[in-house]
């Protein structure tokens, strides 16, 4: 048997060259004539890739580059200053609140009625997408599904609630403590040393205004405005006015202050409107005798409504409007200010049942008056009118008159608009009624 080492393997080189030559000949014959001008492929089979000619870059002058960079830097600086200056109004509280509800379970609930037990509800109002309930021991946030979204405790003896946008301000009447809340967090807390809070207001950007007595012997009362970050925005002291109410304009550019003073042995009420854009400007002042101004508010138009015990003052600080609308001898029971009008509940002298509902618009004109029955309990403003709660009915009044009348239990104490309906506070529960429930 032959050994593998004795075996020789021969390569047929000539045959391979012949095959290669045949293929080359066939390939040449297969090339069409119109391709003859194309560059030929080298016999080595390697194709040389020629890089494309570099593009000629357009030259920029050095001064153009410098100017362009300066423009970018200037734009960034201006944007940064604008954000820093307006941070209080730019922070996306609503978006953060919505996201927090979705991811922390704050959107859960069993619906209304919402049961209340133990604590006494002092005040309530809609804060963003939640109903804020102020009790004698805590501040509750109830969501649209009737679930408790948040709870913050307080130890104020006489707490008061002020609401704008997402913010709920709780102040200690007769004390110096306050706390600014949203459903998501406690934004700000503070205590005024040696001063007692007499009135307060909050803006939808979180700015608060506090009216207090004063430790100075030269003044009667003073006002301080504080941003939600704790920065003082505005301060004013009065030598004669005892302040009873405050309001911040919707655009945050004006502050209205009401108060009383003694003038020649008679009581004089004063409405003062400050321009926050120009602190050095003289404030607009309106006065009236034998009138006690109880509350003040701004319409969306910038006009101011000051509610007194005998009439309402409607003034335009930017113009000459100063209208006093009398209650025509009726007794004022309650009032609620909306975006473009104020609703008044008036009672005939000596009567304990029924009354008159009157709406005054932002021009000082009377929109309408309408009689109602039942003992008055509470009135609140909504997006498209007012809610009037009596001993046995919940009335929804639009801009032309009372539109719906809904039978309710006799234990109703307060009403606020919530999620398009009327939310009535009873002795043990919160019950929501649709606006069209009483139609037909």
pLDDT in tens, 62-71: 666 777 777 7
Per-residue pLDDT, averaged over 277-299, amounts to 93
Q: How much is the pLDDT for 2?
A: 44
In sequence order, the β-bridge partners of residue 346 are 332, 356
Residue 430 counted as domain residue:
yes
Residue 303 counted as domain residue:
no
SS3 180: strand
Residue 440 counted as domain residue:
yes
For residue 236, give both structure tokens: 């004013």
Q: Supply φ then ψ for residue 103, to 5 degrees.
A: -95, -10
Work out how many domains the chain is built from and give that number.
Answer: 1
Q: How much is the pLDDT for 8?
A: 45
Residue 217 counted as domain residue:
no
Per-residue pLDDT, averaged over 382-394, amounts to 95
Mean pLDDT check: name the lowest of 74-78, 99-103, 414-418. Answer: 99-103
Q: How much is the pLDDT for 15?
A: 47
For residue 50, give both structure tokens: 């020629």
Q: How much is the pLDDT for 265?
A: 79
**pTM to 2 decimal places:** 0.76
Residue 164 counted as domain residue:
no
CATH number, domain of 422, equals 2.130.10.10
Residue 7 counted as domain residue:
no
For residue 261, give both structure tokens: 């003073």
For residue 417, give both structure tokens: 């608009």
Q: How much is the pLDDT for 44?
A: 55
Residue 32 counted as domain residue:
no
Higher pLDDT, 155 or 64: 155
pLDDT digits (tens, 9 = 90+) for 351-374: 888 999 999 999 999 999 999 999
**CB-based contacts of 416: which residues, under 8 Å, 6+ apart?**
124, 125, 126, 131, 380, 387, 422, 423
366-372 vs 355-361, strand pairing mode: antiparallel
Per-residue pLDDT, averaged over 130-145, amounts to 96
Q: Which of 241, 289, 242 is nearest to 265 (CA)?
A: 289
**H-only helix segments in 318-401:** none
Containing domain of residue 436, as a range?
Answer: 331-440
Share of the chain above pLDDT 70, in %: 77
């Amino acid at each position: 048997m032959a050994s593998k080492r004795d075996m020789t393997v021969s390569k047929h080189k000539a045959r391979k060259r012949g095959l290669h030559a045949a293929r080359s000949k066939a390939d040449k014959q297969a090339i069409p004539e119109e391709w003859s001008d194309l560059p030929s492929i080298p016999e080595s089979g390697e194709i040389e890739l020629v890089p494309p000619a570099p593009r000629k870059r357009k030259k920029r002058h050095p001064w153009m580059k410098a100017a362009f960079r300066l423009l970018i830097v200037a734009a960034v600086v201006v944007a940064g200053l604008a954000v820093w200056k307006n941070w209080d109004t730019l922070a996306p509280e609503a978006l953060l609140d919505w996201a927090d509800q979705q991811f922390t379970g704050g959107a859960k609930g069993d619906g209304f009625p919402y049961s209340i037990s133990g604590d006494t509800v002092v005040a309530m109002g809609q804060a963003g997408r939640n109903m804020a309930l102020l009790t004698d021991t805590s501040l509750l946030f109830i969501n649209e599904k009737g679930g408790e979204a948040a709870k913050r405790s307080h130890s104020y003896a006489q707490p008061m609630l002020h609401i704008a946008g997402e913010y709920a301000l709780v102040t200690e009447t007769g004390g110096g403590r306050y706390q600014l809340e949203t459903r998501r967090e406690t934004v700000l807390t503070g205590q005024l040393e040696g001063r007692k809070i007499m009135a307060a207001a909050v803006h939808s950007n979180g700015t608060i205004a506090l009216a207090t007595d004063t430790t100075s012997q030269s003044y009667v009362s003073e006002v301080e405005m504080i941003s939600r970050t704790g920065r003082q925005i505005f301060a004013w002291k009065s030598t004669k006015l005892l302040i009873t109410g405050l309001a911040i304009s919707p655009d945050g550019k004006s502050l209205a202050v009401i108060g009383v003073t003694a003038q020649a042995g008679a009581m004089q009420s004063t409405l003062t409107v400050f321009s926050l854009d120009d602190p050095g400007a003289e404030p607009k002042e309106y006065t009236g005798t034998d009138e006690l101004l109880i509350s003040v508010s701004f319409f969306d138009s910038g006009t101011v409504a000051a509610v007194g015990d005998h009439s309402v003052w409607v003034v335009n600080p930017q113009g000459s409007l100063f209208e006093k609308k009398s209650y025509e001898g009726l007794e004022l029971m309650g009032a609620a200010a909306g975006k473009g009008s104020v609703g008044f509940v008036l009672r005939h002298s000596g009567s304990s049942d029924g009354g008159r509902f009157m709406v005054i618009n932002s021009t000082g004109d009377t929109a309408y008056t309408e009689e109602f029955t039942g003992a008055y309990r509470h009135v609140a403003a909504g997006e498209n009118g007012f809610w009037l709660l009596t001993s046995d009915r919940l009335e929804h009044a639009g801009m032309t008159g009372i539109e719906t009348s809904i039978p309710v239990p006799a234990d109703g104490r307060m009403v606020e608009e919530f999620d398009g309906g009327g939310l009535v506070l009873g002795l043990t529960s919160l019950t929501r009624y649709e606006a069209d429930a009483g139609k037909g």
